[in-house]
Structure 1
Amino acid sequence: MKQPFPPALARIIRSLWVVGGIALAVLVLYAGFALWVGMTSGDAIAAAQRLLSEGQPAAARRSLGWLLWFQPNHADALMLLGNCLQAEQEFDAAAEAFSGVPIDSPRHEEASFSQAVAYLHQARIEAAEDAMVRHLRRYPTGGKHSSSQAVHEELRWLYFNLFRPRELEQFLTASLKRHPGDFSLLFHLLYSEFRPPIAQEALGYLKPINQRQPGQPSVLLALGYCSWKLGDAKTAWQQIEAALELRPEHLETRLVAAEVLLEQDQLDAAEALLSRPEDASSSLGEQFQQDDRWWWLRSKLAQLRGDDALALGYLEEATALRPSELRYVHRRGVLLQAMGKTEEAAQAFAGAKQLEQCESRLATIVLSNELERPTVDLCLDVADLCEKRGRKLQAAGWRHVAQQLPR
């Protein structure tokens, strides 16, 4: 009988049939295994949760191994793995597990929050800050995201404890713009300004962090600032210099370092830090231009070198960026008076006096804890004081709070 195909072609066809059959068998087996995994993954999660609740986090973690090998992006398994690792105080590994939860998973918000908490437990302050900023960018406060308020509070405390008042002010102000009239934000804006952290107390928070995770620039900078405030100039500069070496083009670090150097009459070194970088790709020069504190420090430097006219010019730039800053308004009066411009100096001193009275009254209100029991009259008084200081957003917020209170 005649063969339908030439022998060589027939062999190829038979080989293809065999390969196809094997592939089909593998596919069926894989599909069956995947179906089995899908059916049993719930049991695996439940078993691991039971082990964790019984105080056996290591056993719970091991029981998840096969599931995560087959489904490495399984959100529930990754969350449970992270919780097990946290129970074992393996916080870095826990943070890594939480970071693996897919962004499109319903559990990503919880994972994002848990990752930030894990970093905080491990005293990895900068990693925690980055994680919290990312979390709030994706899950802003005021909506359905229950974790965001807790993250907001943690980030507020972090800025406070690290002596970063300007960043704290900007953070709270940005939140207030999204939630005008929020009492908590208004309250903390005033308290952070008039009840700032105390250097001696802050060391009790900062030193253990530095011992557990040495070499974090933001922690070193805060330690240096505390040492400076406590009169230990040598230690202060060692810590600030270490932070500066780690982040040579970081705005806050440069400004704090320059301020300390100016206090020590190291004018050339301060000037070097306040100079715009030569690297055209650096954004630091633009940040300098937009920051009133840079202009203020340049003004102090010029005045220390005896150039009042240049100092005044720089101070005008600082005042343009932050018109109601008491120290700027007062220093402007001093410089104008030194230059013989008595009428303009008198106006500046009058403005400084009004600002000083406003700040004194606000400090009294904050330190007396009156805002913990707000009344309509008190809120309106605070609103008026904020208005006089040029804090229009806060003024509007306090008026809104007053409207919500019973007469």
Structure 2
Amino acid sequence: MSDGHSTYKPTTGIGRWFDTRLPLPRLVHSSFIVYPVPRNLNYAYTFGGILTIMLASQIISGVVLAMHYAPDTGLAFNSVETITRDVNSGWLLRSLHANGASFFFIAVYIHICRGLYYGSYKSPREFLWVLGCTNLLVMMATAFIGYVLPWGQMSFWGATVITSFFSAIPVVGDWIQHLLLGGFGVSNPTLNRFFALHYLLPFLLVGVVTLHIWALHVVGQNNPTGIEVKSKTDVVDFTPYATVKDAVGIVAFLFFFAYFVFYLPNFLGHPDNYTVANPLKTPAHIVPEWYFLPFYAILRAITFNVGPIDSKLGGVLAMFSSIAVLFLVPWLDSSKVRSAVYRPWYRVFFWIFVANALFLGWLGSQPAEGTYVTMSQLATFYYFAFFLIVMPLLGLIETPRPLPRSITEAVLEKNASRSKADTHD
């Protein structure tokens, strides 16, 4: 078993010459071949690789689409239709890019939930978690402005509604709104700004992802037990063990992705967005893309004033706080045990949190009226209570299950339990 240091040895003269000047093969070898990973990683840990594949897919398809797209309010909608109907394989590129955004968020939400469940944010991985949250923030900004580019009804009115909330911010709100819009309403300057930002931000995301991977290689991979590596028997080489598992997970994920691309290309889109934007006709119900619906429900849940903060500003603060609180998770969780596998009460509250997030997503798709508002307020309360009340207090009062002495012991116990169950069967 390797200790993680590169054992790469060039076998040719050109290889040795290159290695002494730019040791890129050595870097790849030490980072992705002999890099030690815990031997008990499960398929929940394949979503890092899945996200890397999805990011590459989004950038490649997006660059090609940009070659045919016209960022002009009079041409944008028809240019998207032209891409779909007249450009060679344009229908495939558009379907890959549009559905890729949804599957990108599916993967990142599962990745975040895995981190919360196994405590991947705890020391010494705080900065790794913060970089991951930064990735989420950049992704959300990129997806929002990209949703405006097709210039359909929901694109236009979604941009109108969301950018209007910036005006609620004291002092600088109007300035931020006008900067984003390029004027006093969603118009041609807005579309040009959003197109430029949508093209730029994915490359910024690549930079942050690179830092995220670098930080991961510095502190090492967490694992389902939450126990740090104690000996060489606790780890295996990244290749072939982790790469094969990642490959299986990626293929399975891409299978579902391909099903939507080829058979349900418009299933995740809103019907109103297949109609050209009309500033004189407001849709009956304005909603963002599905992956923003939980945050949209939180935004609309604040229907009351709190002192000098009116409901509009309160909603904006609640929405941004629902993302900002993720950055604080490493310092909110007071438990010394990482993994929820050994934290029975935390595990219960965690799965309630997941169900609550899905419930918020459904509420975000419903009209902001009647009992939907009340349910949104209750669900919003639990969303914040999980981070601000449950995490700090539960770590002080919960009695965790006994931890195994090492990763190897945990693996052997698990295998022994399986063998015993198979024997009884």
TM bin (shorter chain): under 0.3
Q: Which has the higher contact order (CA 8 A, sep 6+)?
A: 2
TM-score of the aligned structures, taking structure 1 as reference length: 0.24
TM-score of the aligned structures, taking structure 2 as reference length: 0.24
Whose Rg is larger? 1
